[in-house]
């Protein structure tokens, strides 16, 4: 645990008592503060009270008297679509509102660092798609080379739940727009932006607000190195805004699909090969095609981002390449779960939006596509140009029939349930086909998370052999 600094004997509110909220309360307690906690759920409040925390309704302004800060969990709206009543009460009472990310960056460095010859570093990764894989891949590479490292944030442990850094350690944080948007302190050594596609638009009042939240990691944080995907206009804009001029190697541009030129530092993947260029010259190349844990162009972009991040902390290209080959990938993200009679079964339940599903569809040939669920804003039209390799779609979800109507000319079968879809796809599949779960929709109509949906897919695949 990282004890929260700067609040000894002071009252600090904690709103939301999920994983990050409880870690925040414990970190405040360890740092000598007096945490006052609240959650809208009675069960969460009861559990916190049983752990010895003082529970207080933070939506009442009178309860915020003498409070020096309110720490808000990332899942709780602080502005759009409307602020939580406790946040509004804090505004009215003049109490600064922050989150655990801001608290982490203010508390990470300790007096122990004065004796270190090599300072710890933080690599923070954000973006719409691929940030989990990129973060896990960076952490994997660092682990493989025996460099001390921890993984936290939107993946793994809460940021305040990790251990205090030791000399030379690299902490890798996956940060969502929710986590970045409210943080009062953002000071990563290396910041990574993978890409931008529409998501969480209600929470940020549109695409512009969503991008503005991501941009804060670079504008507010002032990282020593900025690694930026430039395949969308927003990324190209951010790279230009961050760049100090020709040859500025503080900015590393990355791409999947286009060759990047110019005198600066760039890493890009084309036709399955990763290339690193500096000062107009190629300095390294890696064949990504045989790396089983990184299939498809979207994972090649993740590889470029992770490669660039590891280069900034001094790792050699061949060392990174070797570590790529032992990366197994993350669960529910292009995860090969079985192969039966030459048919592969791939779990990409994390493909919850159109863009991520499109990338999954581009990674495989001869696809038996399991899709459907709680459709997100924007429809499916942007997905249809990427369905050329789909032999047939097997549609699940409570609104499966409506979802199927939006698949255009794609051959399809309405299956409703995962079990029916897996069974039908397996019966139709021939050697060389891939049965791919890439829903292009949220899971909440049938499952409480994309993980549960992916687990159900794997259960159904396993049941084929029973």
Question: How far apart (Å, rounded) are the C-alpha atoms in residues 362 and 147?
Answer: 34
Helix (H) or strand (E) segment spanning residue 395: strand 390-396
Evaluate whether 163 touches 185 at the Cβ level (below 8 Å). Answer: no
Q: Which of 316, 292, 437, 287 is nearest to 367 (CA)?
A: 437
**Strand ranges (DSSP E) for 102-245?**
121-126, 149-153, 170-174, 190-193, 225-229
C-beta of residue 317 within 8 angstroms of C-beta of residue 286: yes
Q: Is 132 annotated as a binding residue?
A: yes
Buried b (16+ CB within 10 A) or exposed e, 444-463: eebbeebeebbbbbbebbee
Question: Are 248 and 239 a contacting pair, CB within 8 Å?
Answer: no
Q: Is 62 exposed, middle or buried (0-12, 13-18, 19+ CB in 10 A)?
A: exposed
DSSP 3-state assignment of 47?
helix
On whether 13 is known to bind a ligand per the annotation, the reply is no
Between CA 415 and CA 114 the distance in angstroms is 62
| Cα–Cα–Cα angle for 28, 20, 6, rounded to 5 degrees | 25
Strands (E) located in 288-342: 335-340
Residue 133 assigned ligand-binding role:
yes
The alpha carbon of residue 345 and the mean position of all alpha carbons in its chain are separated, in whole angstroms, by 24
**Which of 339, 337, 402, 345 is closest to 369 using CA atoms?**
345
Q: Cα separation of 232 and 18, whole Å?
A: 34
| Total Cβ atoms within 10 A of residue 388 | 11
Q: How many residues does the chain have?
A: 466
Confirm or deny that 365 is annotated as ligand binding.
no
Residue 262 labelled as part of a binding site: no
* Residue 129 annotated as part of some ligand binding site: yes
Residue 206 assigned as binding residue: no
Binding residue positions for ATP: 127-133
Binding positions are 127-133
């Amino acid at each position: 645990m990282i004890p929260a600094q700067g609040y000894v004997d002071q009252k600090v509110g904690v709103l939301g008592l999920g994983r990050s909220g409880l870690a925040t309360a414990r970190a405040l307690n360890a740092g000598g503060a007096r945490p006052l906690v609240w959650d809208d759920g009675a069960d969460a409040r009861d559990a916190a009270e049983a752990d010895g925390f003082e529970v207080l309704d933070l939506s009442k302004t009178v309860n915020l008297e003498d409070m020096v800060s309110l720490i808000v969990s990332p899942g709780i709206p602080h502005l759009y679509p409307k602020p939580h009543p406790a946040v509004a009460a804090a505004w009215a009472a003049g109490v600064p509102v922050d989150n655990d990310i801001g608290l982490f960056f203010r508390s990470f460095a300790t007096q122990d660092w004065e004796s270190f010859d090599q300072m710890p570093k933080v690599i923070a990764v954000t973006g719409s798609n691929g940030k989990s894989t990129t973060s896990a891949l960076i952490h994997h590479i660092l682990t493989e080379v025996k460099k001390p490292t921890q993984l936290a944030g939107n993946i793994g442990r809460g940021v305040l739940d990790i251990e205090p850094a030791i000399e030379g350690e690299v902490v890798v944080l996956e940060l969502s727009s929710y986590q970045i948007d409210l943080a009062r302190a953002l000071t990563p050594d290396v910041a990574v932006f993978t890409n931008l596609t529409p998501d969480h638009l209600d929470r940020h009042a549109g695409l512009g607000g969503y991008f503005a939240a991501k941009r804060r990691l670079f504008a507010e944080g002032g990282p020593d190195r900025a690694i930026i995907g430039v395949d969308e206009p927003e990324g190209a804009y951010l790279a230009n805004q961050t760049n100090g001029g020709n040859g500025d190697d503080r900015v590393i541009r990355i791409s999947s699909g286009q060759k990047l030129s110019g005198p600066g530092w760039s890493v890009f993947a084309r036709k399955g090969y990763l290339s690193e260029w500096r000062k107009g010259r190629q300095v390294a190349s890696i064949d990504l095609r045989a790396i089983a844990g990184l299939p498809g162009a979207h994972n090649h972009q993740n590889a470029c981002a992770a490669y660039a991040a590891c280069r900034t902390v001094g790792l050699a290209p061949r060392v990174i390449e070797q570590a790529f080959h032992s990366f197994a990938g993350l669960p529910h993200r292009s995860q090969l779960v079985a192969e039966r009679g030459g048919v592969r079964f791939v779990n990409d339940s994390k493909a919850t939006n159109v863009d991520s599903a499109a990338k999954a569809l581009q990674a495989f040939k001869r696809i038996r596509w399991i899709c459907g669920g709680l459709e997100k804003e924007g429809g499916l039209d942007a997905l249809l140009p990427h369905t050329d390799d789909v032999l047939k779609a097997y549609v699940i979800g409570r609104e499966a029939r409506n979802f199927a109507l939006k698949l255009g000319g794609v051959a399809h079968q309405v299956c409703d349930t995962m079990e029916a879809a897996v069974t039908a796809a397996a019966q139709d599949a021939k050697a060389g086909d891939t049965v791919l779960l890439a829903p292009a929709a949220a899971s909440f109509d049938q499952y409480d998370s994309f993980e549960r949906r992916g687990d159900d897919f794997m259960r159904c695949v396993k049941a084929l052999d029973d």
